[in-house]
Amino acid sequence: MSLPILSLITFTPLVGALVVAVLPSNHPDLIRRTALFFALAAWTMSLGLLGAYAFGQTGFQFNEATDWIPTFGIQYKLGVDGLSVLMVVLTTTLTWISVLASFGPIKDRVKGYMISFLVLEVGMIGVFLALDLFLFYIFWEIVLVPMYLIIGIWGGANRIYATMKFVLYTLVGSLLMLIAILATAYAYQVGHGGSWVGAFDFQQLQRFAASGQFGDAFQNLAFLALFLAFAIKVPMFPFHTWLPDAHTEAPTAGSVILAGVLLKLGAYGLIRFAVPLYPHAAHTFAYPIIALSVVAIVYGAIVSIVQPDLKRLVAYSSVSHMGFVTLGIFVFSATALQGAILQMINHGLITGGLFLLVGVIYERTHDRTIAKMGGVGAAMPIYATVFGFFILASAGLPGLSGFVGEFLVFVGSFGVAPIISVATIIVMVLAATYLLWMFQRVAFGTLSDFLKGLGGHLTDLNRTEMATLLPLAVLIVVLGLFPSLVLDLLRAPAQAFLAAAGVVGG
């Protein structure tokens, strides 16, 4: 038997959480370093996975499968394709960066915090690796609890409201998803003479779906339930209202993971499960979803312009950026889908970086109000430079990764509906507006009175902060110049997605 590398990656953070749990609480530095060690271990292994992954092959690799609850054919089944490899690497990368970024800001109850973070990582990785629908659901729900605690315990002033809203929104979606999953498995069971074997196995179900055996009416209902769960997580307009609150109240690292990984869970679910299992329904609802995506893109951008709070601004910009992802998925073109997935990664890197940068300024000023800032460039030149870099990346400057993803979505959707492409290009201008205007108000000019009052506290980026931001910046440049590194990995998954979605011929 070969090395179960996927299980190792998934459960290394869990081992870390258990180790942290038995460490003495009065040694916070030891706890921090141990957590970082395990996060880095998972990251290293995920890089090893990426290196060992056979490019260009179709199907899943490194498969692991054991029976878990044989009565209902529920398996512990993991596997990766190009999409999940990338998502896992994104997750492990952002997790260690977040853990490192929490070294300074989190001083209270460090132990619980690090345990939450490591458990969160288990859930996130598991979601991307699970090939059994039930297992997927379980990992999906495991993500919920640590994030609830991270926002609720270590968050800002209004944290309890924000965290309850986050949980309730997510739970409504996910419980409906559970019904859809059970109903899907049951439909499969009925189609196989009452045998539960393989009823929750994604590959079996997809084969079943590909042969057109899920009825249209059933597909519509199941798709809607799954879509709702994923749309809340993405979040798509009009299910996005939990996001600004959760982002604003979460601690910096919580925001990074929320934006960087949690939102991707929803998009991943749409690509992996919702469309391939219910292709007919996906086509039926494609136009309304495209419309909602465009609304999200435009609405997110417009609302971002008027946000007075740095974090809220970045949060609303996420709504806009994630709109490109859902748009890219539902125009059913290989180019657009690759762009959408690239955009998922870019958004994780860029928005993750922006939240880190907002966290840096918040650490020093305990404020995020844009109006109180000004002249940061004079006091913190390195900070302002790095901030400017991430701002330009977020605005889609060619040469940086943000541009490529959005561009591919334009190109891919142009063939389907040119009007959409035109509308979204206008948003590029809006994005530049709210981002650069915000940057101008924060960084340029003379030092504001509020910042002057802080005096010597306004120190430039320290080494830890640089260590969290630099890897992200490097990745943004590399992916901006050589997007083919990622796109090659995505060719096979994109073809598989279209093959699954194209069964009923659009």
Partner 1 sequence: MSWSDLGTISPVIVAVLAAAAILLVDLAWPNRRRPAIFTALTGLGAVAVAILIQAGHTGSAFGGSYSLDNLTVFLDMLFVVIAALTILFAVDYLEPRGLPIAEFAAVLVFAVTGAMLVAGSTDLLVLFVALELMVLPGYMLAGFARRDPYSTEGAIKYFLLGSFSSAILLFGLAYVWGMTGTTRVDGVASALATAVAHGSLQPGLAMGLAFMTAGMAFKMAAVPFHYWTPDAYQGSPTPVTAYLSVGPKVGAFAIALRLFVGALGPLKADWLPVVIVLAAATMTLGNLVAITQDNVKRMLAYSSIAHTGYILVGLAAYAGGQQTGLSAILFYGAAYTFMNMGAFAVVTALQRRPGVSSQIGTFAGLGRRDPWLGALMALFLLSLTGIPPLAGFWAKAYVILAAIQAGGWLTALAVLAMINAAAAAFYYLRVVVYMYMREPTEEAVASSPGVLFRVGLAAVGVGTLIFGLFPALVTAAANAANVFHD
Span 396-425, contacts to partner 1 by CB under 8 A: none
Residue placing its CB nearer to partner 1 in the complex, 152 or 266: 152
Q: How far is the CB of 402 from partner 1 (least distance, A)?
A: 35
How many residues of this chain bind partner 1 (CB under 8 A)? 32
Q: How far is the CB of 17 from partner 1 (least distance, A)?
A: 13
Residue placing its CB nearer to partner 1 in the complex, 168 or 382: 168
Give whole-number Cα distances, 305 to 311, 384, 434, in Å. 12, 20, 5
Q: How far is the CB of 74 from partner 1 (least distance, A)?
A: 9
Name residues whose C-beta falls within 8 Å of residue 353's C-beta, 6 or more positions apart in sequence. Answer: 390, 393, 469, 472, 473, 476
Q: How far is the CB of 160 from partner 1 (least distance, A)?
A: 6
Q: How far is the CB of 145 from partner 1 (least distance, A)?
A: 6
- Asked if 72 contacts 196 with a C-beta cutoff of 8 angstroms, the reply is yes
Q: Which two tokens stand for residue 155?
A: 């968050």
Residue placing its CB nearer to partner 1 in the complex, 72 or 362: 72
Sign of CA dihedral 207, 143, 249, 15: negative
Position among 128, 137, 242, 410 found at the interface with partner 1 (CB under 8 A): 137
Per-position x/- string for 161-200, each x denoting binding to partner 1 as judged by CB under 8 A, each - no binding: --xx--xx--xx--xx-xx--xx--x--------------
Give whole-number Cα distances, 369 to 9, 361, 374, in Å. 40, 11, 11
Strand ranges (DSSP E) for 157-243?
none
Phi and psi of 121, rounded to 5°?
-65, -40
∠ CA(367), CA(369), CA(372), 5° rounding? 90
**Alpha-carbon gap, residue 243 to 248, rounded angstroms:** 8
**Alpha-carbon gap, residue 331 to 340, rounded angstroms:** 10
Q: How far is the CB of 6 from partner 1 (least distance, A)?
A: 18
Per-position x/- string for 52-91, each x denoting binding to partner 1 as judged by CB under 8 A, each - no binding: ----------------xxxxx-------------------
Residue placing its CB nearer to partner 1 in the complex, 149 or 297: 149
**Alpha-carbon gap, residue 127 to 132, rounded angstroms:** 10
Residue placing its CB nearer to partner 1 in the complex, 144 or 411: 144
Residues facing residue 80 across a β-bridge: 61
Instruction: Give, rounded to a whole angstrom, the gap between the first and last alpha carbons of the chain.
Output: 42
**Alpha-carbon gap, residue 320 to 341, rounded angstroms:** 15
Residue placing its CB nearer to partner 1 in the complex, 29 or 108: 108
Span 89-128, contacts to partner 1 by CB under 8 A: 109, 112
Residue 94: count of CB within 10 angstroms of its CB: 29
Q: Is 138 in the site for partner 1 (CB under 8 A)?
A: yes
Residue placing its CB nearer to partner 1 in the complex, 138 or 472: 138
**Alpha-carbon gap, residue 371 to 257, rounded angstroms:** 27
Residue placing its CB nearer to partner 1 in the complex, 70 or 398: 70
Residue placing its CB nearer to partner 1 in the complex, 176 or 408: 176
Residue placing its CB nearer to partner 1 in the complex, 142 or 436: 142
- Asked if 122 contacts 13 with a C-beta cutoff of 8 angstroms, the reply is yes
Q: How far is the CB of 398 from partner 1 (least distance, A)?
A: 44
**Alpha-carbon gap, residue 196 to 198, rounded angstroms:** 6
Span 142-161, contacts to partner 1 by CB under 8 A: 142, 144-145, 148-149, 152-153, 159-160
Q: How far is the CB of 345 from partner 1 (least distance, A)?
A: 28
Position among 5, 33, 63, 141 found at the interface with partner 1 (CB under 8 A): 141
Name residues whose C-beta falls within 8 Å of residue 194's C-beta, 6 or more positions apart in sequence. Answer: none
Q: How far is the CB of 220 from partner 1 (least distance, A)?
A: 14
Binding residues (CB under 8 A) for partner 1: these are: 68-72, 109, 112, 137-138, 141-142, 144-145, 148-149, 152-153, 159-160, 163-164, 167-168, 171-172, 175-176, 178-179, 182-183, 186
